[in-house]
């Protein structure tokens, strides 16, 4: 069965620190990868996605992620975090199933940024 692993469950940083959240998936076929973010009290929303082309994708709010096919990874990065980046981050991979595509999510990483 396909799975998505997020290695960091809780991350605490100070403002201006650099961020990298790990995401690895186990699926041998073509994948489409997503990072979703859930800010406190808000609903889940898309941060960025990769489906083809340049493996380095840029999302909203200065986030970027790099797809490394050989490592089955899609790590999320931000050079300098802000207090407002405090949120829960979920990595997801779309897997073909029954004529549609079902996202499999990782368990999430809780990021707390201290001002």
Partner 1 sequence: KAGVTQTPRYLIKTRGQQVTLSCSPISGHRSVSWYQQTPGQGLQFLFEYFSETQRNKGNFPGRFSGRQFSNSRSEMNVSTLELGDSALYLCASQKDVGATNEKLFFGSGTQLSVL
Residues that bind partner 1 (CB under 8 A): 32, 34, 36, 42-46, 49, 51, 90, 92, 94, 96-108
Of 42 and 115, the one with the shorter C-beta distance to partner 1 is 42
Estimate to the nearest angstrom the gap between the alpha carbon of 33 and the chain centroid.
Answer: 8
Of 43 and 69, the one with the shorter C-beta distance to partner 1 is 43
Instruction: Write down the residue that tokens 């997801």 correspond to.
Output: 92
Question: Closest separation between CB of residue 105 and partner 1, Å?
Answer: 4
Of 39 and 79, the one with the shorter C-beta distance to partner 1 is 39
Of 17 and 105, the one with the shorter C-beta distance to partner 1 is 105
> Which residues 6+ apart lie within 8 Å of 108 measured at CB?
6, 9, 38, 88, 89, 90
Question: Closest separation between CB of residue 84 and partner 1, Å?
Answer: 19
Q: How many CB atoms lie within 10 A of CB 89?
A: 23
Question: Closest separation between CB of residue 15 and partner 1, Å?
Answer: 26
Give the closest residue to 26 by CA, choosing from 41, 6, 42: 6
Question: Closest separation between CB of residue 34 and partner 1, Å?
Answer: 7
Separation of alpha carbons 18 and 14, rounded Å: 9
């Amino acid at each position: 069965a396909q799975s998505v692993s997020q290695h960091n469950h809780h991350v605490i940083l100070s403002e201006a620190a650099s961020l990298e959240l790990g995401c690895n998936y186990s699926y041998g076929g073509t994948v489409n990868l997503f990072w979703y973010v859930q800010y406190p009290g808000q609903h889940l929303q898309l941060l960025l996605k990769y489906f083809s082309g340049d493996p380095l994708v840029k999302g909203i709010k200065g986030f970027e992620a790099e797809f490394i096919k050989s490592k089955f990874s899609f790590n999320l990065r931000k050079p300098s975090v802000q207090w407002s980046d405090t949120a829960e981050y979920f990595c997801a991979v779309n897997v073909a199933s029954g004529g549609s595509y079902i996202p499999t999510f990782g368990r999430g990483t809780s990021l707390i940024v201290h001002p």
